[in-house]
Structure 1
Amino acid sequence: MRLEMGNFYVKDVVFGAATSFQDGVLTIHKDEALSVVLQDDHITEVDLVIAKPGDPIRITPVKEAIEPRCKVSGGVMFPGVLNKLMPAGSGRTHALKGSCVLAVGKRWGGFQDGLIDMSGPGAKQTIFSQLINICLVADTDEEFERYEQQKKNKALRWAGMRLAEYIGNCVKNMEPEELEIFELPSLDQRSEKVRNLPGVVYVMQLQSQMLENGYNALVYGWDSNHMLPTYMHPNELLDGAVISGSFMPCSSKISTYQHVNNATIKRLLSEHGKTLNFLGVIVSNLNVQLEEKTRSALFVRQLATALGAQGAIVCEEGYGNPDADFIAVFNALEEAGIKTVGITNECTGRDGRSQSLVDLSEKADAIVSTGNVSQLLKLPPMEIVIGDLESLARDGNSGGWEGSVKEDGSIEMENNGMFCSDANTGEYYKTVVDY
């Protein structure tokens, strides 16, 4: 399977008479873009606001992040979600690098929503402060969940995908500045030299704890709560087969932007044939009941063993209850003789003295930490707020509480509520250091 990724590097974003890209400047026809958003009657108010790195801007509640892209050949964008169900991971896709569409609530947030600072100390917490963000700031008539702590946010999330595809289409017929090739032959077509290298599999544990449809990560549009661990080609993930869900404390969540830019997958592809034999991806899930956790761990082990894996990297989306799934898979793989490394964040308490994971095992002796959800942050006021700052304290944001927002606009919060800040897929440099 061969995927060509044509990259266009965005240096600035402005509003103008037509949506286009030239000399590093992305121009957006605002009214036309808003008409794409308003195709959903549930959206009642909407605006587009541009936030650039270094701007004195605070954005909250952020619900989703999507890279502007278009499919040139070999498939569709967001298969099984926005467009018809068909395979992802081949042909050519064009991407506007350095830019991002953020779906932001105009008034209402929730447990799973996050905050981004574009400057100041808060900007160090998340990769999204380094991107030029096209903020889709909207409200909806989804009254059934307005006062719910956990929201599906469907209208805004789907609007973000439509907007990202609309913007991406402006480079559909252009020649990219850079062409990346992602190609991984089927197992039976690999040379003896490659087969003699250590076989490594990547296990992606998607958030899927909610029993009701609409909250969990989607695989080709299918709710991951209803799936068993599944083997996938890495190109499928890089080409949009997996869509972020709307459940999970926000620092631990993996946005759609991060799924298609998964740095761990890209590094494994780059090392294939050199230091390792990349066998592919096992997409797993994170469940609630013990039997479900055990079943998923069993299937991950069976798939990894059948593929001939000697090593595995396990990425966990979340913390707390999902730690039991994480450790169960760790144990299952190690017991099968597969050397395993985990990537996850920690919940050590504000003083750093609590057990970092809910479940532990002596077999889990190689873990990359990407941050501490309990880290206490005190952030100064910002000149501009996009969205609704009060939502941090009012609407159950996992990192906020009553009193988080001070009279002068400064805030006190936990890293828990910073948007996708712990980046378990490997795009960012945060970690926990033992002194």
Structure 2
Amino acid sequence: MKLEVGNFNVRDVVFGEKTFYENGRLTINKEEALQVVYEDDSITDADLVLAKPGDAIRINPVKEAIEPRCKVSGGVMFPGVTNKLVPAGNGRTHVLKGTCVLAVGKHWGGFQDGLIDMSGPGAQQTIFSETLNICLVADTNEEFEKQEQQKKNKAIRWAAMRLAEYLGNCVKESLPEDLEVYDLPPVDQRSDETNQLPRVVYVMQLQSQMLENGYNALVYGWDSNRMVPTLMHPNELLDGALISGSFMPSSSKISTYQHVNNATIKRLMSEHGKTINLLGVIVSNLNVQLEEKQRSAMFVRNIATTLGADGAIVCEEGYGNPDADFILVINELEDAGIKTVGITNECTGRDGRSQSLVDLSEKANAIVSTGNVSQFITLPPMETVIGELEALARDGNSGGWEGCVKDDGSIEMENNGMFCSDSNTGNHYKTVVEY
């Protein structure tokens, strides 16, 4: 399976009379772009607002992040979701690199929505302070959700996908400025030299705890709550087979943008044939009931052992209840003789002294921490707010509370509410210092 990713390195975004890319600048016809958004009658009000690195801008409530892309050959964008169900991971995809479509609520937020600062101390919490953001600020007629703490946000999220593809299509016929090639042959067609290297699998544990459709991460449009662990080619993940779910405290969420830019997968692909033999990705889920957790862990172990894995990396999306799934999988893999490294964030309290994970094991002796969801953050006011700042305190954001937004626009909050702050895919600023 061979995937070519053609990059167009965007250095600026402006509005203009037509949508096109030229000499590092993306120009957007706002009226035409909004027509794509309004294809869904559920969208009652929408606008596009630009937010660039260094701007004195605060964005809230952010629901999703999507990279503008288009499929040139070998498939479609968002297969099984906004387009027909076909395989991902082959052919060529063109990308407006450095840009991002953010789905932002004009008024209503929720438990799983987050905040992004484009400058100041808050900018150090998330990679999306470094992207050229096209903010889709919208409201919908989904009245049944407005008073719900946890929202599906489907109309806005789907509109953001359509908008991202519309923008990406402006470079469909153009020659990319640079080309990334991901070519991982079938396991039985590898050289003797590669087969002598340590055999490694990557386990992606998707957030899937909600029983009702519409909240969980999607795999080719399929609700991950209703799947068992499945072996996938890394190219499928890098080409849009996974769509972020709406449910998950914001700092722990893996956005759709981060799935296609998964830094861990990209590094594993670059090491294939040099230091490791990458066998593939086991896409798993995070469950609620103990038997479901045990079943998924067993499936992960069986797939990994059948492939003959020597080592594994386990990435957990989330914290709390999912920690039990995370530790169960590590235990199963270690018991099978597979050396395992875990990647997860922690919930250690504001002082960092609480138990970091809900469940622990002596076998989980190699874990990379990506942050503390309880970290206390103080942010100064910003000149401009995109969306509605009050939603942070009013609508149950997992990092905000009544009174956390001050009269002058400054904020006291927890890291929990920073959008994708603890990216477990490896795309973020943070490092771990052991004291």
Deviation at 1:431, TM superposition (A): 3.3
Unaligned runs of 5+ in 1: none
State the Cα distance separating 1:282 from its structure 2 match: 0.1
For residue 344 of structure 2, give the secondary structure of its aligned residue in structure 1.
Answer: strand
Aligned twin of 2:379: 379
- The answer to whether the Cα contact below 8 Å between 2:218 and 2:224 also exists between their aligned partners in 1 is yes
What do residues 361-410 of structure 1 show as CA deviations (whole Å, max 9, x unaligned)?
A: 00000000000000000000000000000000000000000001000000
Letter of the 2:260 partner, please give it. Answer: V
Q: Contact 2:125/2:429 (CA < 8 Å) preserved in 1?
A: no
Between the aligned partners of 1:126 and 1:286, the Cα distance in structure 2 is: 24
Partner in structure 2 of residue 285 of structure 1: 285
TM-superposed CA distance for 1:434, in Å, is: 2.7
2:213 aligned with 1:213: yes
* TM-superposition CA deviations, 1:244-300 (whole Å, max 9, x none): 000000000000000000000000000000000000000000000000000000000
Q: Retained in 2: the 8 A contact 1:372–1:432?
A: no
CA contact (8 A) 1:372 1:415 kept: yes
Q: State the distance in 2 between where 1:432 and 1:356 align.
A: 14
Partners of 1:192 and 1:310 in 2: CA distance: 17
Gaps of 5+ in 2: none
Q: 1:76 is matched with which residue?
A: 76
Please tell me whether the aligned partners of residues 5 and 94 of structure 1 are also in contact (alpha carbons under 8 angstroms). yes
For the pair 1:95 / 2:95, whether they are aligned, the reply is yes
Counterpart-to-counterpart distance in 2, 1:248 and 1:428: 18
Counterpart in the other structure of 1:152: 152
Which residue of the partner structure matches residue 310 of structure 1?
310
Q: Paired residue for 2:251?
A: 251
User: Aligned residue for 1:108?
Assistant: 108
Number of aligned positions between the proteins: 435
Instruction: Provide the C-alpha distance between the structure 1 equivalents of 2:298 and 2:224, rounded to a whole number of angstroms.
Output: 17
TM-score by length of structure 1 reads: 1.00
1:223 aligns with 223
Letter in 1 for 2:62: V
Distance in 1 separating the partners of 2:431 and 2:392: 24
State the match for 1:238 in structure 2.
238
* Residue equivalent to 2:85: 85
For residue 283 of structure 1, give the secondary structure of its aligned residue in structure 2.
strand
Give the letter aligned to residue 73 of structure 2: S
8 Å CA contact 1:254, 1:420 repeated in 2: yes
Q: What is the aligned partner in structure 1 of residue 415 from structure 2?
A: 415
Aligned mates of 1:269, 1:176 — CA distance in 2: 21
TM-score (norm: length of structure 2): 1.00
**Offset of residue 338 of structure 1:** 0.1
**1:50 lines up with 2:11 in the alignment:** no
Secondary structure at 1:291's aligned position in 2? helix
The amino acid of 1:107's aligned partner reads: H
d(CA) in 2 for partners of 1:431, 1:317? 18
Aligned match of 1:124: 124
- 1:245 alignment partner AA: G
How far apart are residue 428 of structure 1 and its match? Answer: 1.2
1:361 matches 2:361: yes
**Alignment-derived partner of residue 337 in structure 1:** 337
Contact 2:16 2:28 (C-alpha < 8 Å) held by counterparts: yes
What are the within-5 Å matches in structure 2 for residues 157-196 of structure 1?
157-196=157-196
Q: Distance in 2 between matches of 1:172 and 1:432?
A: 40
Q: Percent identical across equivalent pairs?
A: 81
Residue 36 of structure 1 corresponds to: 36
Distance in 2, matches of 1:96 and 1:344, equals 29
Q: Tell me the distance in 2 between the aligned counterparts of 1:170 and 1:367.
A: 42
Deviation at 1:215, TM superposition (A): 0.1
Deviation string, structure 1 residues 409-429 (Cα, Å, up to 9, x no partner): 000000000000111000113
C-alpha root-mean-square deviation of aligned residues, in Å?
0.5
Whether the 8 Å CA contact 1:249–1:398 is kept in 2: the answer is: yes
Return the offset for 1:432: 3.9
Would the aligned equivalents of 1:228 and 1:284 in 2 still touch at CA under 8 Å?
A: yes
Q: Distance in 1 between matches of 2:307 and 2:96?
A: 35
